[in-house]
Amino acid sequence: MARAQFMMLLALALGGASAWQVPKLSKLPQLHRSPLSSKDVQATPVTAPAKYSTALEAATATAGGEAEGGGLAQTLKVGGYFGLWYALNIGYNIYNKKALNIVDLPWTMALIQLFAGIPYVMLLWATGLRKAPVLTKENIKNLTPSALCHLGTHVGAVLSLGAGAVSFTHIVKASEPVVSALLTAVFLKEFLPIPVYLSLLPVIGGVGLASLKELSFSWLPLRTPLLSDVVSASRALLS
């Protein structure tokens, strides 16, 4: 990725520089020593052959060529990450629900899960497997809002798993794009194209239909995943 970016920058720089230079001809026509008349001399336009019309096209072609070389491997790698994420997420939700059915302490469960990451990263930093970050006061100040939103996202999800069915929790959490679009319009004054908003209507309808058909419906399983959606969308805005 770094090599591709470097090649793109280099191609743009060369393309911009070549736009201000007069093209040089490697082979000039040989002129006879005898005087020539005006009829013998014909003005012909001299153009420098170029493979690409603009520097942007050259940079795009360079990056595209490198991407084609490892395209299949990169696609399989990213697809494997997606599949692994879904598999682990399914297992997490199932075992989390089983644990909450045995121990009805969702707040405690959520905090234990968050603090479990501390000894893990401390071990990585102590062994040198991961370099410990050096944070300034300004870094901590900037990261605190996002960290608090991450806390709210996780706690809201665990509370919803303890309050209702796993399927209903994720149906409601699927409405996060709706919340994100709303918060972006309200706070950032950025509006998406109309087709994007229209594509969110099936999501809203699906959440409403699932709420109507939920036999054990109560407001807590609905409010907690919605809370998780709001703070998760806020985290994206603050990051």
Alpha-helical regions (H) of 103-175: 106-115, 117-127, 137-163, 166-173
Q: What integer pLDDT is reported at residue 23 of this predicted model?
A: 41
Environment class of 169 (CB within 10 Å of its CB; exposed 0-12, middle 13-18, buried 19+): buried
For helices 166-173 and 219-238, angle between their N-to-C axes, nearest 10 degrees: 40
Q: Which residue type, as a one-letter code, is found at position 80?
A: G
Distances in Å between the Cα of 90 and the Cα atoms of 93, 151, 170, 221 are 5, 20, 11, 19
With pLDDT > 70 as the criterion, what percentage of the chain qualifies?
69
**Segment (H or E) for 181:** helix 176-187
Tens digits of per-residue pLDDT, 48-92?
444 444 444 544 454 455 445 468 899 999 999 999 998 998 898
Q: Given this model, what pLDDT does residue 90 score?
A: 87
- The answer to whether residues 142 and 93 touch, using CB atoms and an 8 Å cutoff, is no
Span of 2-11, 41-50, 131-140 with lowest mean pLDDT: 2-11
104: number of Cβ within 10 Å:
11
Of 54 and 187, the structure prediction assigns the larger pLDDT to 187
Please identify which residue in the block is written with the tokens 């959490």.
173
pLDDT at 163 (0 to 100): 86
The stretch 11-30 carries a mean pLDDT of: 42
- 189 φ/ψ sector (left φ>0, alpha ψ -120 to 50, else beta): left
pTM (global) more than 0.85: no
pLDDT score recorded for residue 222? 85
Averaged pLDDT for residues 30-59: 47
CB 186 within 8 A of CB 128: no
More confident residue, 110 or 41: 110
pLDDT of residue 7: 46
Q: pLDDT per residue over 133-182, tens digit each?
A: 888 999 999 999 999 999 999 999 999 888 888 888 888 888 888 899 99
With contact defined as beta carbons under 8 Å apart, do 58 and 11 qualify?
Answer: yes
